[in-house]
A = this chain, B = another copy of it.
Amino acid sequence: MATARDVDVPSLVSAAREGNPRAVARLISLVEDAHPALREVMAALAPDTGRAHVVGLTGAPGVGKSTTTNALVTALRARGDRVGVLAVDPSSPFSGGALLGDRIRMSDHAADPDVFIRSMASRGHLGGLSWAAPQALRVLDAAGCDVVLLETVGVGQSEVEVAGTADTTVVLVAPGMGDGIQAGKAGILEVADVLAVNKADREGASRTGRDLRHMVAMAERDADGWTPPVVRTVATSGEGVGELVDALDAHRAWLGEDGLRARRVRRAAGEVEALALEAVRARVGRVAGADRLEALAGEVVDGRTDPWAAADRLVEAVGAEGLSSSGR
């Protein structure tokens, strides 16, 4: 089993801070592996975080998220930004693997030392994404990225939640995909700060744009003074991508320091809570005897108890073991 000693944290962190791509990649691997050295890494990175503009990109499969991300990287590089890309794959809960096709994509920027691209599997159980993605963002942030693009497939709730925790969230829609209905169904319109109609050279783009503007107008948003702009892009040619970058900048400027901080506190709160629940879950695994999870589940299946009563017994057993005892 991996231990914290396997990793020379100070040198890795120092190299990552200077933007060394291999160090950055290694640190994100530690996040993916939930490596024991992660605590030390995050403690060391803490003072260097909070500079990157975290931009979430989400949308149904087929809207052109990867192509748009690629085009955004090109546009941001053109103005000299250091850019990080974190693509969260809805991977198998069993194999934990992302498809090779995703990992090797976006080779346009493979040779650029100021672009960090990482595909991350949303492996493990529910909630793993809630703490892993923000920690990978911390690594890219501390590595001096001006912008980090967080790309998720916005179809599952966890993926939407991840995208929704960005400083600025872009929702992509393509013409002829049920005219935004699919997007509305997955709940991703509500998280949009900016809407992009990609493949805007296709038939129906105008109508989709109109529909989206209509949906934006209809949506019950907080009266916070920001109306998500609808930008038309053709990511494959780069058309409209400049306007998309302008929209991102405008949203960040509108947020201001207070607005930005509020979003980041919300993101950090989710991250801290997920880590705390993870610690409790680890203790659930250590409960023994009749209050072991499997024993309780067996009683539930046999109809001898119900899930709520079983959960009570489990929480009591975890509490008896001592929540404040260390040992993670």
Contacts and interface: CB of A to CB of B under 8 A. Distances in A.
Contact of A300 (B46, B48, B309): B46
Q: Is the interface of A mostly helix, strand, loop or mixed?
A: helix
Q: Work out how many copies of this chain go into the complex.
A: 2
B307 A316 contact: no
Interface residues of A, number: 92
A158 B158 contact: yes
A70 interface: no
Given A185-B89, A275-B308, A268 B297 contact: yes
B308 A315 contact: no
B156 A158 contact: yes
Interface in A242-301: 261, 264-269, 271-273, 275-281, 284, 293-294, 296-298, 300-301
14 contacts: A45-B306, A46-B306, A49-B303, A90-B155, A93-B164, A94-B191, A126-B161, A156-B158, A265-B294, A272-B293, A276-B314, A276-B315, A312-B326, A323-B323
A20 to B, nearest CB: 21
Contact of A42 (B134, B157, B307, B322): B307
A159 interface: yes
Contact of A275 (B92, B278, B311, B320): B311
A301 B155 contact: no
A166 interface: no
